[in-house]
Amino acid sequence: MEFARFEAFANEETLARIPDPQAVSTFEASRLIWDERGRAPHAGALELHRALLRLRRMDEALQPGNRFAVIELDDDGLALSRGDPAGHAMLLVAWLRGSGAYEHSRRGPSMPGDRWRVILSTEEPRFQESPDDQTRTLAPDIDLEDSLVVRFRRPSAVIVRRE
C-alpha cells in the first residue's frame, strides 16, 4: 500500500474515517458546486486565490528563478522571503496556530532605512465571509515604523514588500 508509512493508515479507527477513493459517494462529495463561488465563505476564498495569482504573475520578486529563503519562526509560524538581483524583495509571514508576533529585525537581514509596505493580508475584508468590526479586531497589527513587526491575533498571513 502506497500510504502504509502514514500513521492514519496504521490505525483501523482512523482508517475507517478516510473516504474510499473508489466510491461514487466520495466522487460526488468532491465535486465543485459552481454556484457557491459567489456566496460566503467561498467568494472570499476565491478572491484571495485570484489576488495571490495576480501578485505572482505581476511582481518581479516572485518570478521563477529568483532566490528565496524560509525562516522557521517557531512551531506556530514561518516566514518566506523572495527577492531578485535588482533588490526587489517580498516577505510572507504566516502564523499557523494561535497568536504570536514576528519582528523582522530579530529574524532577517535588515538594512538601515528599510521601509516596508503591506501588499496583502488574509484578514482583509474582501477575503472574509462577512466583514464586520470583529474581523477588523482580529486582523494582525502591523507596525512599519522602525522595523517590521506583525502581531497576529489568530492564524493568518501577511505579505509585505521592501520599498
Strand partners, 150: 102, 142
pLDDT band at 106 (very low <50, low <70, confident <90, very high): low
Give the model's pLDDT for residue 1: 54
pLDDT tens, position by position, 112-139: 557 889 999 999 989 987 655 555 668 8
What domains can you pick out in the chain, each with its CATH number?
36-162 (2.60.40.1180)
Q: How far is CA 148 from CA 35, 86, 98, 119, 143, in A?
A: 40, 21, 20, 13, 6
Q: Are strands 149-152 and 100-103 parallel, antiparallel or unpaired?
A: antiparallel
